[in-house]
Each structure stands twice: as structure tokens, then as C-alpha cells.
């Protein structure tokens, strides 16, 4: 655990070499990156964390994308990371975009898996409704719908994928998860004109949360961007297609 301001953040650091920061999505924890850390830590110093409100980290304050960005910057500074490679999944991509746009000279590579931009109005309300459901009925009230909506039918052929994703979500702090939903509902898009580094966007062919068209649209806004679409893959890219994700990340980073 690392102290960041008035809270404790769960942080794991493995490997050696240039630093890579891994940022999980809504309902995720450091565990979502297990397969990626196994490969990346052979060539890089890999930092992964549970965002405030998620996993083992404390929920101290009202959550926001800016608050998560500030925590990442504090952790990078504490470890002496002058420059970093940043990898985000889902919500983590939104945080990563803001982190990079605010610190363009410190991010040398940016990888976005299942990209999340600012939500449309209908999704903002859906996230607020989800927060209400969690406060009233716990994670059990939403976990099955959240997990099933994000996983490709092809990935369900692996009997480990759905239970793993379900366990990640259902073991969250209900209040931390609810506040995380509310933070995403209030999020705004990052200023991509400030992103100067090469960007990799990885999309799942079957992702209904963030279809490949969103990655293609974002790539068109960036000066140096590549899109990789993984076949028979939904929104939980790091655990649905770990081999393909690892290959794309190693080639890019």
C-alpha cells in the first residue's frame, strides 16, 4: 500500500527497465492485468494500482477523473518516473487520456484498450442509475448484467473468463463502485490535441460497450495512432484475449 494524500492506494511494482503504468477499468483491479504483467515485467518496470474506490484501495473522498489523474501523478513522482508508458483499459483509458493531455512531455507511449471517451447523456444517466442500484442492493444487483454485456460469446467458451470478471466486480466495495460510476457520469473528454506521443488503440471486434468504430474515430483525431482490432473479443480485452493483447503491447511499447 502507498500513501497518497490522506488515503492508502494498493500498488504493485514488478520488473525492471523503463516504467509502464497500467490503469484498470470500472469494476477492475490490479488482477485484470495479471497476464500482461507476466510478459511486460520481463522488459519494463510495471506499476499497476487499484484506483481509489476500487479493490483494496481506500474510498476517502468524492471520486473524479481528475482525482485519479492526480493520484497517478503523485505515484509516478514518488517512484521517480520522469517519463512513463501508460496503458489503460475502459475507464482506465479515459484517465490515461487526461493524464497524457495534462503531462504530454512525460508520456512516451499511450495504449488504450476498449477506449472510453466522455459518456453520452443516456450513458450518464445509466451510470447514475447503476450507482443507485448498488447502494440499494449491493454488487449482486448489477454484476450479472455488467459482466455478460461486456464479454464476447466466443470468450464464454473459456470457462474461466466469465467467473473471473464476475469475481472482479462483485468483490468491489459497493460505495466505492457507486462513487466510481458517478465519477464516470460526470466525466468530460480529454483534449487530444495535447497528446504528442504515439498511441495504440486496441478494440474488440464484438465489443458493444466501445465498438471498433470509436477507436477508429479517435485515431483520426491523433497525429500518430494505430488501431488493432481483436477478433471474437468483447470489452474485457486483457482477460478475453491475453495473448493477442500482450503481443500488441510488447510490439508497441
Give tens-digit pLDDT for 203-235. Answer: 999 999 999 999 999 999 998 999 999 999 999
Strand partners, 225: 199
Note the pLDDT of residue 5: 86
pLDDT the model gives residue 114 = 98
Cβ burial 59-70 (10 Å sphere, 16+ → b, else e): beeebbbebbbb
pTM score over 0.85: yes
pLDDT of residue 231: 97
- CATH number of the domain within which 23 lies: 3.40.50.1820
Please give the pLDDT value at position 9.
96
Maximal C-alpha separation, the chain: 46
Count of domains observed in the chain: 1
Sign of CA dihedral 125, 128, 134, 137: negative
Integer-rounded Cα Rg, in Å, for the chain is: 17
Could you list the residue range(s) of the whole structural domain that residue 139 is in? 2-252
On whether the CB atoms of residues 211 and 91 are closer than 8 A, the answer is: no
Average pLDDT, the chain: 96
Of 130, 102, 116, 106, nearest in space to 23 by CA = 116
CA distance 97 to 86: 9
Q: How many other CB atoms are found less than 10 A from the CB of residue 38? A: 14
Amino acid at each position: 500500500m502507498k500513501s497518497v494524500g490522506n488515503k492508502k492506494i494498493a500498488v504493485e511494482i514488478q520488473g525492471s527497465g523503463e516504467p509502464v503504468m497500467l490503469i484498470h477499468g470500472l469494476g477492475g483491479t490490479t488482477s485484470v492485468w495479471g497476464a500482461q504483467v507476466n510478459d511486460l515485467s520481463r522488459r519494463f518496470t510495471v506499476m499497476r494500482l487499484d484506483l481509489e474506490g476500487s479493490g483494496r484501495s481506500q474510498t476517502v473522498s468524492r471520486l473524479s477523473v481528475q482525482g485519479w489523474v492526480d493520484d497517478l501523478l503523485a505515484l509516478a513522482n514518488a517512484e521517480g518516473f520522469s517519463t512513463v508508458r501508460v496503458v489503460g483499459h475502459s475507464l482506465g483509458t479515459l484517465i490515461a487520456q487526461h493524464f497524457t493531455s495534462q503531462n504530454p512531455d512525460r508520456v512516451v507511449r499511450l495504449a488504450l484498450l476498449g477506449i472510453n471517451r466522455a459518456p453520452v447523456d443516456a450513458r450518464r444517466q445509466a451510470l447514475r442509475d447503476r450507482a443507485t442500484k448498488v447502494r440499494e442492493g449491493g454488487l449482486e444487483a448489477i454484476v450479472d448484467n455488467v459482466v455478460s454485456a461486456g464479454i464476447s460469446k466466443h470468450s464464454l467458451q473459456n470457462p474461466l473468463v466469465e467467473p473471473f470478471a464476475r469475481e472482479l466486480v462483485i468483490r468491489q466495495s459497493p460505495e466505492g463502485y457507486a462513487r466510481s460510476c458517478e465519477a464516470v457520469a460526470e466525466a468530460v473528454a480529454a483534449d487530444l490535441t495535447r497528446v504528442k506521443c504515439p498511441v495504440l488503440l486496441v478494440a474488440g471486434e464484438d465489443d458493444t460497450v466501445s465498438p471498433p468504430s470509436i477507436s477508429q474515430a479517435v485515431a483520426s483525431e491523433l497525429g500518430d495512432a494505430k488501431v488493432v482490432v481483436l477478433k471474437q473479443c468483447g470489452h474485457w480485452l486483457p482477460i478475453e484475449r491475453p495473448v493477442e493483447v500482450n503481443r500488441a503491447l510488447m510490439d508497441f511499447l
